[in-house]
Amino acid sequence: MKAYRGEDGRVLLFRPELNAVRMKKGAERMCMHSPSVQQFIEGVKQTVLANRRWVPPPGKGSLYLRPLLFGSGASLGLSAASEFTFLVFGSPVQNYFKEGTSALDLYVEEVIPRAYLGGSGGVKSISNYGPVLEVMRRAKARGFSDVLYLDAETKKNIEEVSASNIFLVKGNTIVTPATNGTILGGITRKSVIEISIDLGYKVEERVVPVEELKEAEEVFCTGTATGVASVGSITFQNTRTEYKVGDGLVTQQLRSILVGIQTGSIQDTKNWVLEID
């Protein structure tokens, strides 16, 4: 998650309660106790306050926060640890994409080991990062920005990018793979869907066959690091499909609104932002 500095100097945190819920869900999968939502938010707030001077000015970046929960104490076999430690690390980061216009070039990976009932998303944070990072390394060595994964069962439907959710724009309709247990339902993803519906777009969360990539006018990814990132091209089976990028498009509209809410330049009518005093 990220802390942003508003135009008036305030420090703003985007949807911390949803990040707390995500940690609780992840902990449950590992039979771990997790902090309550309020304890989580308080820990994040204290970390931001302690590092307040490192929050970059508006438009220059943000304070990146990494909440961690790990077990400690002696344990035998697969039994849960007797004690747990909750930490929050913070570090300033510059804008992920200069001026928000650099587009991703994705490669569709057709073969990748998947963890049971999790795909690359659902249990990525627990056991499946190794193969994901290896595939990313191979793709970047070939000049691609990131990897788009297909479902492990049929290999006919798109799922997600390594650390991002993916959306296709087709006229007034925005399509994204449904979170069916194998796709991580990102917090930025949820926010962009709500913004899109408010703007009058029809949003379809469903199975998305890989062939639909050829029908899209725009494609974008969402995630904590990327925000809303344009996709310039996707290569599948040695065929490259290119998409519209630049100003005046749906992607740019959604990005501007999301950033505006996160930095306080657009009124937060949904109470998504927590101000750090």
- Tell me which residues are annotated as active site: 124
Largest CA distance in the chain: 58
Report the chain's C-alpha Rg in angstroms: 19
- Taken in order 10, 13, 15, 17, the sign of the CA dihedral is negative
Distance from C-alpha of 139 to C-alpha of 129, rounded to nearest angstrom: 15
- Identity (one letter) of the amino acid at 11? V
Distance from C-alpha of 230 to C-alpha of 166, rounded to nearest angstrom: 10
Q: Which residues does 149 contact at the CB level (< 8 Å), separation at least 6?
A: 108, 109, 112, 119, 120, 158, 159, 160, 161, 162
* Helix (H/G/I), strand (E/B), else coil: 166: strand
Cβ–Cβ < 8 Å for 52, 1: no
Which helix H or strand E contains 13, and what residues bound it?
A: strand 11-14
3-state DSSP of 47-59: HHHHCHHHCCCCC
Which helix H or strand E contains 260, and what residues bound it?
A: helix 250-263
Which helix H or strand E contains 17, and what residues bound it?
A: helix 16-29
Strands 146-150 and 83-94: unpaired
